[in-house]
Amino acid sequence: MVDRNTLLKLPVAHLVAFALGLPVVACGHTAPRTAVNSREVQAKPVDLELEQLVITQTDADNIAKIHARGMQRLQNGDFQGAERDFDLCVRAAPNGPHAASALYHGGLALDELGRFDLALQRLLLATERLGDQPLGQAAALRAVRIACHLERWGIAKAEAEQLLAKKVALRPFDVILVQGALAMEAVMRDDDIAAEQHVARARNALENNGLDAPGKISRDVAAVYFALGEVRRLRATRIGLVPPPPNFGVVLEQRCELILAAQSAYSDAMRAYDAHWSTMAGYRIGELYVALHEELMRIVPPESVTDPHQRQLFEGAMRLRYSVLVQKALNMMKHTLTMAERTGEKSEWVERTKQAEQDLAQRLVQEEAAIDRLPYSRQALEFALLRLQAAAVGKGK
């Protein structure tokens, strides 16, 4: 609280602002007028540079001390108090010597508080102010990381490219972050070739520095693996199965290999134990099996199968085989939602997963009902499925 004697010495304008709860910037205290002699009037004036004083309803201190207090609070984990101090520094003296640092460290505090949009704004402003200084580079790297979390791929790309253009010395984890961000931006444009190149550079940094050991990984590495999964997913979905190509067995095998490879990369992304990346990865794995199931169910029996009973048998065998895919996708969705609920994740990907889970559960019921309506036992369908698979492989050779 402000000392009563201090308040009594303040000018009327400052007291009004204080009553309204507005920050006031003053250059020192105004001394009371006293009589001066002629010798003092003729004396050579001296320029004095006084520290700015910030006055609020609960505080009266200079900006340097408020900034120092914010730094101490940040170090102690009092992110809310630190953010208030840094915000006050910027509002009171937006062009002052502490403004750029306050923007950066305020962005860190907001990041810790989960206020990612505002944190990104502060860090981008800090990057502009600080330029090529070490703190400016740190602000740009943190901005890339938050932009990836918010899926602001354009911002992530712009900041990442600026860091590379400056040819500054990046640590291995910084290289992984930057290349992972560029890879993610590329796959979102369906540019799997450029994405693969960025993923390769990031993985080189991982391997060359021994950062790819089994076990838990960082969020930045999770982005790289997720981007790798996206590259493989894009390529898998480009392999069409309808109408069945002459070498159907070979093509189907290629599609399935890419799906399994994508699933492996997404699973590696989950090793970060980060709710956001894990939810995205879980959704994508389920989506892969759904897409394959939908396409395979559109395949009609071969023209050589003219007997109605044989065609019915073909349909049942296909449904039995690919209902397994729906079950796999459903299990992955349930696992993802359980993890999201446990960690409190509330992103758009959680809502997508919930909707997909409901759709998959309905699909599975429909598949089971369609199989049960057929005049064949599941054992007979499984035998027919084995024959179909053997024939498909034989044609693909």
Q: Are 147 and 159 in contact (CB under 8 A)?
A: yes
Task: Give CA–CA dist 336/93, Å, rounded.
Answer: 47
3-state helix, strand, coil in the chain (%, to 5): 70, 5, 25
Strand 60-62 relative to strand 52-55: parallel, antiparallel, unpaired? Answer: antiparallel
Q: What whole-number distance in Å separates Cα of residue 265 and Cα of residue 346?
A: 23
Q: Which amino acid is at 195?
A: A
Which structure tokens are listed for 218?
């960082």
pLDDT confidence of residue 325: 78
Per-residue pLDDT of the chain (397 residues; tens, 9 = 90+): 455 455 445 554 444 344 444 454 444 444 444 444 544 444 455 443 445 555 454 454 689 999 999 999 999 999 999 999 999 999 999 999 999 999 999 999 999 999 999 999 999 999 999 999 999 999 999 999 999 999 999 999 999 999 999 888 899 999 999 999 999 999 999 999 999 999 999 999 999 998 877 888 999 999 999 999 999 999 999 999 888 888 887 898 899 899 999 999 999 999 998 888 989 999 999 889 888 888 888 887 766 667 788 778 877 877 887 788 788 888 888 888 988 888 888 888 999 999 888 888 888 888 888 888 888 888 888 887 677 666 655 555 4
- The closest of 254, 393, 374 to 314, measured between CA atoms, is 374
Residue 234: the pLDDT is 96
Give 119-135 as a DSSP string.
HHHHHHHHHHHHTTSHH
List the structure tokens of 341. 């609920």
Whether the Cβ atoms of residue 63 and residue 27 lie closer than 8 Å to each other: no
Other C-beta atoms lying within 10 Å of the C-beta of residue 237: 17
What pLDDT sits at residue 17? 45
What pLDDT shows up at residue 99? 95
Question: Residue 57 phi/psi, 5° resolution?
Answer: -65, -25
Number of C-beta neighbours around residue 70 at 10 A: 26
Model-wide pTM > 0.85: no
Residue 392 has a pLDDT of 55
End-to-end CA distance of the chain: give it in Å, rounded: 85
Question: Is the Cβ–Cβ distance between 308 and 315 less than 8 Å?
Answer: no
